Structure 1
Amino acid sequence: MSLPPIRETIRQYGLSASKALGQNFLLDEQLLDRIAAIPGDLRGRNVLEVGPGPGGLTRALLRAGANVTAIEMDERCLPALAELDEHFPGQLTVIHGDAMRHDPADLFDGPYAVVANLPYNVGTALYTGWMSGTEWPPQWSSLTLMFQLEVAQRIVSEPNTGAYGRLAVLSQWRSSAKIAMKVHRSAFTPPPKVMSAIVHVTPVPAPPGVSSPVLEAVTEAAFGQRRKMLRQSLKRVPGALDALKELGIDETRRAETLSVSEFVSIAEKLSPR
């Protein structure tokens, strides 16, 4: 027996998107299949999905042949996800809980891809957690994530733009990030107030000799006072002003003018040997 349309499943279980949980449901099956195709061939691959809700994207991932581990906080959605388990036996594992409290390393023995329509209220926090690991390359092979368009633009932004900041440096110093698809607000139920976009991120080799925590400390200080010159914003980071002199970086510049590679060079000077 075939699965009913996701809209009918939502109606059957009396589901509605929870604002408190940052939910917005995607119902367009063709759009969901396109999203599931972004990370490439998923047949037999392990995929982590956060916040599956009633399972629209989950269906698309399962149709693509993925072995999906889905973490869902909203217990109202569990019966709908259990229905999917019956139609795709052996492919779906559902964990009822908070994704912020689960370490994916405990869920997978080997590599996995992350594909998720992230809940808006925790999306950035989850993303920075995946990007901030000290071990590189990470266990995840790619991240394919739905964000508000504004956040997606911050991830892929370039220097000397209003969107450029810590998130861009964190994303680009040892990974390749691109906006794979924009998604109109009308595709969601209920429609959010803003446009959304899918960001696809793949790891690349990390620059040698650079500590991730040090780079994060430098960017936090620099962009925490982004209107100030570097000599002011970085003065509380031990050794940072000396590093600027050694690298020939003008201390009267502001954070938004520095390239990702310049931030990496500063962090390299300050990283433990």
Structure 2
Amino acid sequence: MHPDLPPLREVIARHGLSASKALGQNFLFDEHLLDRIAAVPGELQDIAVLEIGPGPGGLTRALLRAGARVTAIEMDRRCLPALGELQDAFPDRLTVIEGDALKLDHDAIMGEPHAVVANLPYNVGTALFVRWLGGQDWPPRWTSLTLMFQQEVAQRIVATPDAKAYGRLAVLAQWRTSARLAMKVHRSAFTPPPKVMSAIVHVEPAAMPSGVSARQLERLTEAAFGQRRKMLRQSLKGVPGALGALEAMGIDPQRRAETLAVEDFVGIARLLG
């Protein structure tokens, strides 16, 4: 049995909340849509879930309804009273932490394998995503990432070589995870409506290629796509050993970074040690 909760709009009105542009907030009120988002990662009954930027708790409610044990990190203290009401309604199922998700150790906070589900604030979404994808320890403590981004960013994560959206984010996302666009969310679903469309990306860890340093791959893609209109011989000349690795792999140094497959970048990084 789920507790009978007042409509989210009523909660927001009662607490005098409005979406903060500075914090990149946009509120979702459609309970059916929120339940669909909470269903993307699969069965959540008694699963530990980390949520970033819950705001007044729309998605949080959907995750709790799905049976998850939720830890929510929120830096906007205006939202804490509304989240406190949810804590009262779902005793022992919701932990709220006030703080900046970019500065906190998520693994230490969670203490167990966990799914990450979040309608990410637009201004920190990419930075958090790159952090979740990083590090040499693999598989990570998160079992899946179900994240809402601006549609343009979502398309960059799942893009393939030669596509306009293909770049560093695609390589970092795809070299040891499977990433898919799970659903699109129309701008009209939000209050206030953002200027752009949004999309949900679902990411699951995959096998990590052997002999590859994550840090090396990050440096390599940063150089290659930092000057994406330039040929590889120009963009990679500052990376020690990179031009020799291209030659060893039979990759024409006159190609541009966007023409290389994820496996090509992995191969170059492996040769760089």
TM-score by length of 1: 0.98
Q: Which residue of 1 aligns with 2:214?
A: 212
CA–CA distance in structure 1, aligned partners of residues 100 and 112 of structure 2: 22
Aligned counterparts of 2:7 and 2:136: Cα–Cα separation in 1 = 42
Superposed, 1:84-95 pairs within 5 Å as 84-95=86-97
Distance across 1 between alignment mates of 2:226 and 2:5: 49
**SS at the partner of 2:179?**
strand
The equivalent residue for 1:190 is 192
- Aligned with 2:217: secondary structure? helix
CA distance in 2, matches of 1:228, 1:269: 22
Residue 28 of structure 1: aligned partner: 30
Aligned to 1:269: 271
Partner of 1:136: 138
SS at match of 1:62: helix
Distance 1:203 1:60 in 2: 24
Residue 269 of structure 1: CA displacement?
0.3
Deviation by residue 1:96-124 (Cα, 9 ceiling, x = unmatched): 11111111111122200000000000000
- Identify which of 93, 96, 99 aligns with 2:98: 96
What's the CA shift string for 1:125-155, capped at 9, x where partnerless? 0000000121110000000000000000000
Consecutive unaligned residues in structure 2, runs of 5 or more: none
Q: Distance in 1 between matches of 2:89 and 2:234?
A: 60
The 1-side partners of 2:262 and 2:80 are apart by: 42
Alpha-carbon distance in 2 for matches of 1:55, 1:110: 23
How do 1:60-79 residues align onto structure 2 when only pairs under 5 Å count? Answer: 60-79=62-81
Cα distance in structure 1, aligned partners of 2:126 and 2:51: 15
What is the CA–CA distance in structure 2 between the aligned matches of 1:46 and 1:13, rounded to whole Å? 28
* Cα RMSD for the two superposed structures: 0.7
Report the AA paired with residue 33 of structure 2. Answer: L
In structure 2, how many angstroms separate the alpha carbons of the residues matched to 1:178 and 1:35? 14
Is the contact between residue 182 and residue 200 of structure 2 (CA under 8 Å) also seen in structure 1? Answer: yes
**Residue correspondence of structure 1 range 31-42 to structure 2 within 5 A:** 31-42=33-44
Deviates more, 1:100-109 or 1:166-175: 100-109
The answer for unaligned runs of 5 or more in structure 1 is none
Aligned to 1:259: 261
The one-letter amino acid of 1:85's match is Q
2:148 maps to 146
| Mapped partners of 1:65, 1:161: distance in 2 | 39
1:45 paired with 2:47, answer yes
Deviations 1:149-205 (A, max 9, x none): 000000000110111100000000000001100000000000000000000000001
1 CA distance for matches of 2:107 and 2:222? 27
Aligned to 2:8: 6
Structure 1 residue 219 displacement after superposition? 0.6
AA paired with 2:159?
Answer: S
The 3-state SS of whatever aligns with 1:99 is: coil
Residue 194 of structure 1 aligns to a residue whose secondary structure is coil
- What corresponds to 2:235 in structure 1? 233
Query: Per the alignment, in what secondary structure is the counterpart of residue 110 of structure 2?
Result: coil
1:72 maps to a residue whose letter is E
Aligned residues: 271
> Residues 47 and 68 of structure 2 are in contact (CA less than 8 Å); yes or no, is this contact kept in structure 1?
yes
TM-score w.r.t. length of structure 2? 0.98
Distance 1:12 1:2 in 2: 17
1:181 and 2:183 correspond: yes
